[in-house]
Every structure is written in C-alpha cells, then in structure tokens.
C-alpha cells in the first residue's frame, strides 16, 4: 500500500513539477545509541548495585552476562555487535576491591579507562529524590571540558553514552532529572539530581529560579587513566600522569610500615657495631698495666 501511495504521489508531483526529495528525507540524522552493560567476574555488591542503577537510569542500555576473561577484552566488541549495541560500559573489578570502568564506542571507536572511587548507590537513604524510570535527562557539563582535547573527547563520549536518544524504546515523555559531570582535582564527578518546582509560597529571597534540585543518586568519581585509539585496545592517545594505581598506593603504605621496622633494626645493628668499635686503647698507667 505504501508503494502504491508513493507511485501516485510521484505521478502527481511530476505533474505539478515538484522534484522528489527522497535524498533530503534520508539525510535526516537519527541519533541511534545502544549501550551494552557488562561486568567482569568477582564483582562486589556495591559495584553490582551501581551497574544496575546505571541500567535503570539509561533506558537505551542492555545488560549482559559476566565476562570471564580480564585479558582478552576484544571479545566484548563481538558481544556488542551481537546485541546491536554501538557503545559499551564495562566494569572491570580487580582483587574484589578496585573498580575500573571502560567506556567505549564499539567496534572501532575510541575507548577510555577510568578508576571509580567514592561510590554511593541510589539505595542510600540520604538520597531522597526520585524520577520517572526512563525519562530523558538533561546532561550538564562543566566548562572545563572544553579546555583540553582529551576532555573534549571525553565529553563527546559521555554525550553519546549517557545521553538518551529519542529513538530509544523505553523512554518516558517528561524531563525530571539532570545528570551533571564536573571536573575537580583532575577527576570527573558524577551527580544525578531530580528537578522539582517550588511553589511560590516556599520561595525565599535568595532564590533566582523556581526550580530546586534533590539528589537521586548514584554518585561516583571517575579518575581517567588512559584513552585508547581502538575499542578495548589499540594505541594510547592519552595517559593521565597524575594517576596512581591503587595497588601502588597500598604498597606504599605497607612499605612505609615495613620501613619503620627496618629502620629500627638497622639503627640497633649500627649501635651494636659502634659499641664494639668504641673501645678505648690501653692506658699504660692503668692498674692492670702497673700491677701486672
């Protein structure tokens, strides 16, 4: 039926001299993003809750089973292809303690690895906000994201991964929350707020607007480690010089402790040696020599 209609339309258009504009219609860009949510084995409860929170917040995501290997990450590209996803968020948990997050544009796009700290999930009772499940949010980026190329690339990546496209199936109509990314101390801080309108009688003199924000959660801090050319591999395009691996940090603490013991033992040994060395020469006038 559609083709019949089109035929009639083209006939009529030709008659009236209107040129078909198929090419223009085809060129309307539709932002299609789908994100694959994955984790490695050995994930803890807090990280698991964070992953599920992200899944609830972003309706254009698809959760997949845990990935066995931590070294052969290139298979994630195939998994994403299988699920028709062009983005991926991968939670790599090491030593059941440290959470590393990979954000990547599969299959050939750039990828970034972050170390996640200070995780507070939506479950925490201090976060009192609530929002519609699947409503499209406003993304708020700090102006510092335009200061360097690696921040700009990160901003573009976040816009596509954390921004909900209009074509997603599970979206809801209104806008009731805003997700903000800020750069402080060379790290990216993630916050999620609910937008409410204050009634006129509750407004105070200092309020500039009638909107207020209540935190929904989750909240975490991303410490960028590296940016790669390809997805889950490839050449390093950016490396954060200030990043200290959590293993190294722990090792430093332990060595400092051990260092104290070592220093003390060395000092004792030195003292013993000193006492041995510090023997006075024989005095010819001593009792031993006079009354030999």
CB of 60 to other proteins, least distance (A): 13
Give yes or no for residue 107 binding other proteins (CB under 8 A).
no
Tell me the CA distances in angstroms from 137 to 76, 122, 165, 169, 176, one per residue in order: 28, 16, 10, 15, 7
13 versus 233: smaller Cβ distance to other proteins? 233
Beta-carbon-side half-sphere exposure of residue 105 (alpha carbons within 13 Å): 17
Q: Are 238 and 228 in contact (CB under 8 A)?
A: no
Among the listed ranges 35-43, 165-173, 263-271, 279-287, the one in contact with other proteins (CB under 8 A) is 165-173
Assign 3-class secondary structure to 186-197. Answer: CEEEEEEEEEEE
Least distance from other proteins to the Cβ atom of residue 229, Å? 7
Minimum CB distance to other proteins, residue 169 (Å): 14
Nearest one of 90, 95, 131, 149 to 114, comparing CA atoms: 90
CB of 203 to other proteins, least distance (A): 14
User: Taking CB under 8 A as the criterion, which residues in 31-50 touch other proteins?
Assistant: 31
Under the phi-then-psi rule, with left for phi > 0, alpha for psi from -120 to 50, and beta for the rest, what region is 42? left
The residue (of 97 and 147) whose beta carbon lies closer to other proteins is 147
- Residue 18 or 251 with smaller CB distance to other proteins: 251
Q: Which of residues 225-284 bind other proteins (CB under 8 A)?
A: 227, 229, 235-241
Choosing from 122, 222, 224, 232, the residue that interacts with other proteins (CB under 8 A) is 122
* The two structure tokens encoding residue 90: 């991968």
Residue with tokens 């599970």: 170
Please calculate the CA angle 133-136-142 and round it to the nearest 5 degrees. Answer: 120
Query: Which residue in 29, 31, 28, 51 sits closest to 39, CA to CA?
Result: 51
Q: How many residues bind other proteins, per CB under 8 A?
A: 70
Q: Which residues bind other proteins (CB under 8 A)?
A: 29, 31, 56-57, 105, 109-110, 122-123, 125, 128, 130-147, 149-150, 152-153, 156-157, 159-160, 163, 165-166, 172-176, 178, 180, 182-185, 189, 191, 193, 195, 197, 209, 211-213, 216, 227, 229, 235-241
């Amino acid at each position: 039926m559609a083709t019949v209609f089109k035929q009639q339309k083209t006939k009529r258009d030709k008659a009236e001299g209107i040129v078909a504009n198929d090419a223009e219609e085809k060129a309307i860009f539709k932002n299609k993003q789908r994100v694959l949510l994955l984790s490695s084995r050995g994930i803890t409860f807090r990280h698991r809750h964070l992953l599920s929170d992200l899944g609830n917040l972003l309706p254009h995501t698809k959760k997949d089973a845990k990935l066995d290997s931590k070294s052969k990450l290139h298979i994630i590209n195939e998994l994403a292809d299988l699920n028709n996803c062009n983005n991926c968020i991968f939670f790599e948990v090491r030593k059941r303690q440290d959470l590393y997050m990979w954000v990547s544009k599969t299959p050939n796009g750039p990828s970034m690895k972050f170390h996640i700290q200070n995780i507070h999930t939506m479950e925490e009772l201090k976060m009192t906000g609530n929002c519609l499940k699947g409503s499209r949010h406003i993304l708020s980026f700090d102006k510092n994201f335009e200061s360097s190329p690696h921040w700009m690339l990160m901003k573009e990546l976040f816009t596509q991964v954390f921004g909900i496209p209009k074509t997603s199936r599970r979206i809801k109509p209104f806008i009731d929350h805003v997700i903000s990314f800020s750069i402080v101390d060379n790290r990216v801080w993630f916050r999620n707020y609910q937008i409410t309108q204050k009634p006129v009688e509750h407004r105070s003199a200092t309020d500039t607007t009638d909107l207020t924000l209540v935190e929904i959660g989750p909240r975490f801090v991303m410490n960028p480690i590296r940016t790669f050319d390809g997805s889950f591999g490839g050449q390093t395009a950016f490396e954060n010089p200030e990043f200290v691996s959590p293993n190294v940090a722990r090792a430093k603490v332990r060595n400092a402790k051990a260092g104290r013991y070592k220093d003390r033992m060395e000092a004792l040994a030195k003292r013993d040696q000193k006492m041995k060395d510090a023997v006075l020469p024989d005095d010819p006038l001593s009792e031993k020599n006079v009354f030999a």
